Every structure is written in structure tokens, then in C-alpha cells.
Amino acid sequence: MVELLAGPLAYLVFFLVIALYYALITLGLNLQWGFTGLFNVGVAGFVLVGAYSSAILTTPDDPGRIGGFGLPVPLGMAGAMLSAGLFALLVGIPALRLRHDYLAITTFGIAVTLQLVALNLQVLTGGPFGMNFVPRPLYDELGGQGGWNLAYLLFVAALVLLVWRGLARLTASPWGRVLRAIREDEAAAAAIGKHVFRFRLEAFVLGAMVMGLAGAVYAHFIGFIAPEDFLPILTFQVWAMLIVGGAGDHRGAIAGAVLVWAIWTGSGMLLDLFVPPEGKAQAAALQVAGIGVALCLVLLFRPTGLLGRRG
């Protein structure tokens, strides 16, 4: 058992946990964009809030900073969702009454601001060094590294399933039908007496809460978080996942996340093999530039997504 979980299989488990972490974020974005048409370009910010909130709530007391409250992990995850939701309210209330691109600008702003806070508010976040000792519950009981990773994969898979089924139910409910009506024709939805702003705000906050939960999932898996885990590139990756998977389709969002993450890590490995160490940073830049170009090409030639079946 222990040997099996070393080497390639161990890597596969690790890969899948991260892929499912992205799948959770993509599900959250899918509710916002795929079903409600809300353009959130600050995804990384909401994930960051979730990761840091859960870490602050659950880490052991640390004299170097505020908190380390040592609370149980489930409470940390609940706190992650709550605080991501609060930040969503903060940008949603001023921006969602206005034209679509105001939400893009404000979400961009909150992600930049939260990144700054994580980097500089050392008394709360540990600053550039990040936060260590984020608890990994039952680590020793489940056999350390290998066994625990496998167990965590099962946990995350169950979580993804739960969120997926929950969101699927919601979007198929009358509430979800109103969202789609708003997306198709805002004026018509308003005309039949639907409070457009409230529905959009609810969808936006709920999506952000899922992103916050994903952040907590990441923090408790790696056991260590730092500001550079939540750079704008994260937002792009998730957008690429949603667009590849096809917006408005929960299963597509999950599939897109796994597929894009596979391509991303695969191309990263190739770069590692063929690019000398001194050229790494620049080669990585080329990889990111590739995502930008790919995003534009999909928008131009397959606006409904690569895996998507419907428009």
C-alpha cells in the first residue's frame, strides 16, 4: 500500500486533488457567469479570502500575528465561505446595479487589493512569507503523506459532487430559471416583476462562497499558503477552464477544470525538460501568454466553449 502510493500514483493523487480544487472554483464561476452572466475577473481574490480565513481560524496560536484561533477545520471552512461571501457583497452591492463592465472593474480591483493586503498586512496574514502549519486533520491517523493525500482526494471528490449536485438542483429550480431569464433578457425579466438586482447579487455571493470554500480546501491540503498562490493568473486559469468546459454546464465546468489543469501541468513539465533553468521564468511567461491567446481564439471561433453542447 505504502509503496503503491509513492511515485507516479502519488503524483496522480496530488494532481487530482489540485484539479478538483480548480473544479470547485470553476463551479462557482459557472454559477456567476454561466448561469447569470456576471463577469468576475477577481476570482483569485475570493479564493484568497477563503484560504486565509480558514487558515487564520484554524492554525494554532501564533505570537507573531493576530489569530491562530485553533478552531476545528469544518468551522474554518464555514468561515471561509462566509468571508468570501461578505467580500462579494462589498463589490456586488455597488457594481451589480450598473452596467456589466463595472462588475469586471470592481472585481479586478478587489483581487488586486486583497493581494496587497495578504502581502503587506503581516500581523494578520504573515505577509510575503505566508502562513505555515495550516492543519491537515487526521494526518497521522491516516498514515501520513501517501494515505492522507488519498483520503483527502476522496474528501474533495465528495465535496465536488456535493457542490455540483447542489448547484444543479438550484439552477434547475425556479430560482435558477429566473437567473437564466435575466441572462437572456434582463429587461424582460424585470418587466415580469423579477427583482433583477437581488437575483444577481444572490448568484454572485453564492458563487463567491464556493470559491472561498475552494480556497480553504487548498489551504488544508498544502498546509501552507502564501500570497503568490492567488495571483491574477489563477483567475485566468479558471476562466480558461470554464470556457473550455462550456459555460452554463456544471459537468462541463468540472471536465474543463481537469482537462485544462492537465494541459497546464503537462506543458509545465515539458518546459522543465527542455528549457535550461536560467530561461525558466521567461518560458513560463510564454506559457501564460499562450493561455491569453488561447482564450481569445476560443472567444473568436468557439464562443460556446470547446466541450459545450449548447449556446
Partner 1 sequence: MILQQLADGLVLGSIIALGAIGLTLTYAILRFANFAHGEFVTFGAYLALLALGQFQVLSTTTFGPLSFGWPLLASLAAAILATAGLALLLDRLLFARLGRAGVAIAVVMGSFGAALALRNLLFFAFGGEPQYYSRAIQIALPLLPRSVLGGVRATPDQLAVLGVTALLVIAMHLFLSRATLGRAMRAVAHNPQLATVTGIDVAAVVRWTWIIGAGLAAVAGVFAGLTVQIRPTMGLDLLLPLFAAVILGGIGSPFGAVLGGLIVGIAESLAVPLVGAEYRAAVAFLLLILILLVRPTGLFGERG
Nearer to partner 1, 78 or 96 (CB): 96
Angstrom distance (rounded) from CA 75 to CA 49: 15
Site residues (CB under 8 A) for partner 1? 37, 39, 41, 90-91, 93-95, 97-98, 100-102, 104-106, 108-110, 112-113, 116-117, 119-120, 232, 236, 239, 281-283, 285-286, 288-296, 299-300, 303
Task: Return phi, psi of residue 225, to 5°.
Answer: -130, 150
Cell (9 digits) for 77: 471552512
End-to-end CA distance of the chain: 46
Q: How far is the CB of 120 from partner 1 (least distance, A)?
A: 4
Q: How far is the CB of 300 from partner 1 (least distance, A)?
A: 6
Q: How far is the CB of 256 from partner 1 (least distance, A)?
A: 15
Residues in CB range of 170: below 8 A, 6 or more apart: 31, 176, 206
Q: How far is the CB of 73 from partner 1 (least distance, A)?
A: 30
* Of 51, 179, 113, the residue nearest 105 (C-alpha): 113
Q: How far is the CB of 125 from partner 1 (least distance, A)?
A: 12
Nearer to partner 1, 137 or 232 (CB): 232
Nearer to partner 1, 100 or 165 (CB): 100
Nearer to partner 1, 94 or 144 (CB): 94
Nearer to partner 1, 113 or 145 (CB): 113
Determine contact, residues 111/232, Cβ cutoff 8 Å: yes
* Of 215, 186, 199, the residue nearest 57 (C-alpha): 215
